[in-house]
Structure 1
Amino acid sequence: MLKAVFFIRHFNDLDHFTPVVHRMAVEADLSCDLCFFTPYYYNGDYRVKFLTSLPNVRLVDVRDFLPKPAPSAMGLIGGKEARAILDHCLEGAKKAVVALDWIMSLSDQVGGAYQAIVQEAHRRGLAAVCLPHGDSPQYNKLLYKDHYTYKQADIYGASAIFDHVATPNELCAARYRHHLPGHRLHVLGSPRYNDEWLSLLPGILPPLDKPLPEARLKIVFFLCHPEFVVFWEEVGRTLRLLAAIPGAHVLVAGHPRKVSYLDDFFAQLEREPELQSRFTFETNDRPSSLLIQWADLVLDMGTSINFETVLNRKPLIVMEYLHGMCSTIAHYMPEIAAHCRDHLLDACMAVLADDPPLPDPGNLARFKQDVVTCGDGDVLARYRDLLMRLLRDGCAAPPPEVEPVSHERAAGIDFPNDFYRDSFPGFVRMADMARRHGCRDILELGAGVTTLLFAELARDSGARVTSCDMSFDALKRYLPSPGHEELVRRHVRLIQGASVTAAQVRAVYEEPLKELADVPVAEFAPWLASQRRGTPRPWLKEPLERRGGGSYWSMHDIFLRGGAVEFHPDLLHIYAERGYQHMLNTLEDLETQGQAGSLALLDDSEGFDMIFFDSGELVSLVEWNILWRRIRPGGLAAFHDVFFPKSVKNFLICSSLLASPMWRLVFVEENTPQGLMIFAKGEGRTTCGKDAA
């Protein structure tokens, strides 16, 4: 059985997910689970009724998997709950895909829940795809009232947790372009406003529960979210203007009584019963589509419902003078934009004269092509094809469970902390991958528990293993018995000393870095965001905000200057043990003693089938610059500590390899803060979700 699991948390999700679920359920040979975080969606919503009328669609109440009852599951989902939910949804499924919606942060309740779900999907080898919950009804970038710079408006970096992000148009996709590589970002058209769905929608809408008022001029006025830049005093004055039109009745959608931005207007209504009779305030109990059908004229302040209005050839005026944004409709069809009260009043009079304002056909066609269909063909088929590709071909088969093996092999090992212990299953997988690849020459940079695993491999396969470290004293804690010590002594060549020199370190960190392993910075810069995970530790927060220009910093802000990578001295000082200058001084002292630059002890002609990079924070990048050419074609490059800001050790290298056609990502472990990535060297690159070896 094939399964698609959709997580749904609010009305916008339902508007955009329903067409996709319908197409999947009708045409694809699979079952769909709709997982709801909040129970009120079950109370007769017409979209849920429609989907559950299909035989292979099932509802799942996420609250059933919480340890105690709660009105909503949001904020209460961790790893244990995510595992229980997917255990339930995927019972009997041979292959599956997990779909969620856009998020803006990993630190809030939604982000925490989604991280747990995505990580559990990845643990099972499943792809997690992000589907739209909007269409970008605003054309500009500075949308929210507290956003004053483009940096503050860039709130989309959290999308990097998903394997793929689907967007309806380029307006939405542009928000994600510098957070995701191109192959993970898809422009598929609008699932909500394409022709197929708009033609199907009238047949599933419920009847009006009670009739709406009759009037000579019926106006529905859609308000926007109060977080946007809106001139609410003028909104109140505009409502009075509409009420003064003889025979007009205004239905205000969005129920402004729940907030205080129209207090003055409501005070006037209390004093003027005749004025009050001209209005109906809609509480979102009825579908917006029914309100549009009722209206003679639709007024909108920059919500995507205006897309449905104009595509259904209903008279529409976008109220540009009421907010500090540029609506997408106004950009494409300026002839139906009101920039002052006069424009609005003239439009109302034109409707009464049976000459309603309609968009220019050419402008409407351009809008539809750019924003809704985004090319020729079947929009919903594109979503179906993406999900089916990720389900069948785009995600690896579930990796074998390594926990029982790791627990057995970890017996007696003295791990310094949980970070090291939690990393052990990934190290076991890495050693097993080296075994399956038939690696004969292995270089380990930074000794530890992996030294024991490589020693076992060398004993069993005859592989030649070399380990380089500044000191092997700490290695002993990972050797639970004298027999294990003897195993390492017999099968691993140990080279002690600093692997690099102070001059080699300076050459990497004190000069702008324009390329890495023949990959120009311009090519791997878009991948930097994919290597960012979690929040900085307290002592890092201030330096990062200072370097990045505020709390909304991006990876580009921290590391890119003038098209090159530059490491700020503050970061070098923090990440180097006891400070950057102390590190350089130590290396210079060791060099005078002949104990630095130990990589020079390797035979210049020596090639490797695997190199594992896990040395000091500011050393690994230097080692990579020296050694990357010595990995044989088909060989493996493995990296521990690949995520920033937990570490600066290997995130930059991994970003460059993700962008390089010469390297193929074959394994990623991202359930620990450090992470582990393994790449194979070859002629082409195909990136997969988990272990593809």
Structure 2
Amino acid sequence: MKPILFIFRSFNDLDHMLPIVDHALNNNRSIILTCINSEFDMKDFRIQYLKNKFSFCTEYIYQLYKPSLAYHLFNLFVCILPNTRLVKSVPLANTIIRKIRNIVHDRLVSKLYDPNWASNMIQSFNIGSIIVDYGDIKRFIYGSIKVASNINQIKIIGVPHGFDTISSDLWTTNGSQTNNYDWKNDEWDWINKLIVASPDIQDKYTRHGVSPSKMKIIGLPRFTPDWISIYHNMIPKSNLENEPVLKIIFFDHAASNYKGDPDQIYNTLRKVDSLPYTKLIVKPHTREKLSDSRLANIGKIDNSHSTQLILWSDIVINYMSSIVIDALLLKKIFLFPKYFIDNTLRWEKYGACWTVYNQSELLSALEAIQKGTHTIPYNQNNVDDFLNNEIYQTNHLNVCERYLDFINLHSTVN
């Protein structure tokens, strides 16, 4: 069977592709893993994991196929020099090289990496299918990849870059304002097949114009127990101190984009931070800066790996990030401030969270936890129902195998 080309662009995409890649390599499936974002750090611990375990090399997509000197020079100025240790260690050199990188990239990327290049690259590696995350075709060189896939009659399969935590139909601020139900279908039209985690998510996307026949319900391998045990062992160790206080992690998100209430978030976290028995860490979203600049003055801003922060914590305060699934798996207390966001979240349906409806309730919950007089209002059955129905599709043992079977089914053979 022809090789599978996996294309990722950021931290989250790689996180969710990695267990599929690992499973494919364990089963001697021929694959190529490549990054379409030339600013992504290729010294990432997950890239190193694949290198150490399989002697597997991951490159930027611009390095895969270099048919002339122009491509070699692009590779030098865009992919190699900006990422060398020497350049990064000298601030002036780093600034100059990055400016050159941006000029070269912006002026040449669309000219060099056009559909003709992409088609030749696909033919050079005899690619049988292409795996991407759900994304916009207008970003990077996805447009060239799409045209080339059509020319070579191979499928593009979209895999989730996270768990779609919101069950509301018009979940973005812009979507609510425009009442646009078809924007997901428009955005994902270039992807031939979509893998989704659950029937509820498929139903939501169907209501947004995506054909059910385009989607396959399989689950999310990133949060399966077998993968979690592997993943936790590869995460870089943290230097977080184990202090004798309530250790709280808050996962930030783009609140104003998702009908969140920045003032409620800020005022609540400021109050939590002022309590004498708490230690608060605010974790920015992996693809974004802080959603509210005021949060920079609250608690401690920490960009450590999210799972390490969860392992350190006693309590996770979260209103929409899918990383909270790690908190549930690690049996941390999950406080869900319903008043932070004007959307319905999937864990609410299963009661797999400690829902608080105002600041007073949240502070009362923290006080009870600190005194040891609390009763967690959800149990393991709630969590298991949520995981089985939304993440595993009843069986967590073969999620990766189901992914690979589906990809193989839609890969060209000869």
TM value normalised by structure 1: 0.50
Post-superposition shift, 1:92?
5.3
Q: Does the 8 Å contact 2:8/2:34 carry over to 1?
A: yes
| Paired residues of 1:16 and 1:134 also in contact (CA < 8 A) | yes
Give the 3-state SS of the residue equivalent to 2:128 in structure 1: strand
Structure-1 residue corresponding to 2:154:
126
- The match for 2:313 among 281, 286, 295 is 295
Q: Answer yes or no: is the 8 Å Cα contact 1:234–1:322 preserved in 2.
A: yes
Q: In the superposition, relative to structure 1, how do residues 79 and 169 fare at CA in structure 2: closer, same or farther (>3 Å)?
A: farther
Shift of the alpha carbon at 1:251?
Answer: 0.3
Distance 1:61 1:10 in 2: 12
Q: Deviations over 1:111-143 (max 9, x none)?
A: xx3232022123223221111112111121222
1:580-612 CA distances to partner (integer Å, 9 max, x unpaired)? xxxxxxxxxxxxxxxxxxxxxxxxxxxxxxxxx
Distance 1:293 1:259, change over 3 A: closer
| SS state at 1:292 partner | helix
CA deviations over 1:524-581 (Å, ceiling 9, x no partner): xxxxxxxxxxxxxxxxxxxxxxxxxxxxxxxxxxxxxxxxxxxxxxxxxxxxxxxxxx
Tell me whether 1:198 sits opposite 2:197 in the alignment.
Answer: no
1:299: how far off? Answer: 0.5
Q: How does 1:336-351 map to 2 (within 5 A)?
A: 336-351=354-369
Q: Relative to 1, partners in 2 of residues 1:45 and 1:215: Cα closer, same or farther, differing over 3 Å? A: farther
Cα 1:244/1:33, change in 2 over 3 Å: closer
2:23: which partner in 1? Answer: 23
Contact kept? 1:221, 1:252, Cα under 8 Å: yes
Residue type at the aligned position of 1:168: A
Q: Offset of 1:366 from its aligned partner?
A: 1.8
Give 1:162's aligned residue. Answer: 191
Q: Are 1:388 and 2:408 an aligned pair?
A: yes
Q: CA deviation at 1:314?
A: 1.3
The yes-or-no answer on 1:379 pairing with 2:402 is no
The 5-angstrom pairing of residues 44-59 of structure 1 reads 44-55=43-54, 57-59=56-58
Paired position in structure 2 for 1:261: 292
**Which of 225, 234, 245 is equivalent to 2:254?**
225
Distance in 1 of aligned mates of 2:30 and 2:223: 25
Secondary structure of 2:363's counterpart equals: helix
Question: For the structure 1 residues 86 and 196, does the alpha-carbon distance in structure 2 shift closer, same or farther, using more than 3 Å as the test?
Answer: farther
Q: Look up the match of 1:353.
A: 371
Partner of residue 132 from structure 2, selected from 71, 78, 100 = 100
**How has the CA–CA distance of structure 1 residues 350 and 378 changed in structure 2, closer, same or farther, with 3 Å as cutoff?**
farther
Separation of aligned partners in 2, 1:80 and 1:4:
20
1:265-664 residue pairs with structure 2 within 5 A? Answer: 269=297, 279-282=299-302, 284=303, 286-333=304-351, 336-354=354-372, 355=374, 357=376, 359-376=378-395, 378-391=398-411, 395=412, 397=414
Q: For the structure 1 residues 129 and 77, does the alpha-carbon distance in structure 2 shift closer, same or farther, using more than 3 Å as the test?
A: farther
Match of 2:97 in 1: none
Query: RCO greater where, 1 or 2, for CA within 8 Å and sep 6 or more?
Result: 2
Kindly indicate whether residue 261 of structure 2 is the aligned counterpart of residue 237 of structure 1. no
User: Structure 1 CA distance, aligned partners of 2:376 and 2:171?
Assistant: 27
The change in CA–CA distance for 1:252 and 1:186 in structure 2 (over 3 A counts) is same
| Preserved contact between residue 154 and residue 175 of structure 1 (Cα < 8 Å) | no
2:26 maps to amino acid: V
In 1, the alpha carbon distance for the partners of 2:113 and 2:271 equals 56
**Aligned-pair distance for 1:330?**
2.4
Distance in 2 separating the partners of 1:187 and 1:317? 29
Question: 1:644-691 deviations in whole A, cap 9, x for unaligned?
Answer: xxxxxxxxxxxxxxxxxxxxxxxxxxxxxxxxxxxxxxxxxxxxxxxx
Q: Provide closer, same or farther for how the CA distance between residues 312 and 334 of structure 1 changes in structure 2, counting only shifts above 3 A.
A: closer
The corresponding residue for 2:169 is 141
- Structure 1: how far apart are the matches of 2:168 and 2:188? 20
Residue of structure 1 equivalent to 2:34: 34
The 3-state SS of whatever aligns with 1:197 is helix
Counterparts in 2 of 1:255 and 1:3: CA distance versus 1, 3 Å? closer
2:117 maps to 84
Q: How far 1:224 sits from its partner (Å)?
A: 1.3
Q: Please tell me whether the aligned partners of residues 25 and 32 of structure 1 are also in contact (alpha carbons under 8 angstroms).
A: no
Task: Name the CA shift for 1:297/1:356 in 2 (closer, same or farther; >3 Å).
Answer: farther
Q: Which amino acid aligns with 1:123?
A: I
For the 8 Å contact 2:319–2:336, the answer to whether it is kept is yes
Q: Distance in 1 between matches of 2:379 and 2:315?
A: 17
Measured in 1, the distance between the counterparts of 2:122 and 2:171 equals 37
Letter aligned with residue 400 of structure 2: L
Q: 1:164 to 1:146 in 2, by over 3 A?
A: closer
Tell me, what secondary structure is at the counterpart of 1:364? helix
SS in 2 for 1:206: coil
Q: Distance in 2 between matches of 1:54 and 1:89?
A: 26
Deviations 1:608-653 (A, max 9, x none): xxxxxxxxxxxxxxxxxxxxxxxxxxxxxxxxxxxxxxxxxxxxxx
For residue 326 of structure 1, give the secondary structure of its aligned residue in structure 2: coil
Q: Would you say the 8 A contact 1:83–1:120 is kept in 2? A: yes
* Selected match of 1:214 from 243, 246, 255: 243
Residues 239-287 of structure 1: per-residue CA shift (max 9 Å, x gap): 1221232221100111899557343x66xx5xxxxxx6xx2112x3x21
**Gaps (5+ residues) in structure 1?**
270-275, 398-693
Comparing both structures, which one devotes a greater share of its residues to helix?
A: 2
- Residue identity opposite 1:165 in structure 2: L
Aligned pair in 2 of structure 1 residues 249, 195: CA closer, same or farther (>3 Å)? same
Q: In structure 1, what residue type is equivalent to 2:60?
A: D
Matched letter for residue 129 of structure 1: I
The whole-number CA distance in structure 2 between the counterparts of 1:317 and 1:259 is 20
Contact 1:156 1:175 (8 Å CA) reproduced: no
- Cα distance in 1 for residues equivalent to 2:13 and 2:56: 16
How is 1:179-198 mapped onto 2 (pairs within 5 angstroms)?
179-198=209-228
* 2:166 alignment partner AA: Q
Q: May I ask how many residue pairs the two structures share in their alignment?
A: 374
Q: Give 1:149 deviation, angstroms.
A: 5.7
Q: Deviations over 1:89-115 (max 9, x none)?
A: 66454x622111112x44x335xx323
Q: 1:151 to 1:183 in 2, by over 3 A?
A: same
Q: 1:280 to 1:63 in 2, by over 3 A?
A: same
Task: Give the conservation status (yes or no) of the 8 Å contact 1:292–1:309.
Answer: yes
Alpha-carbon contact 2:24-2:404 (below 8 Å) kept = yes
Gaps of 5+ in 2: 79-100
1:193·1:372 contact (CA, 8 Å) conserved in 2? Answer: yes
Q: Quick one: distance in 1 between partners of 2:36 and 2:57?
A: 11
Cα offset, 1:232, TM superposition: 1.3
- What amino acid does structure 2 have at the position aligned with 1:362? N
Matched residue SS, 1:57: coil
The structure-2 alpha-carbon separation of the partners of 1:138 and 1:255, relative to structure 1 and needing over 3 Å to count, comes to closer
- 1:47 alignment partner AA: R
User: Cα distance, 1:181 vs. partner?
Assistant: 4.0
Change (3 A) 1:314 1:358: farther
Determine which structure has more spread, i.e. the larger CA radius of gyration. Answer: 1
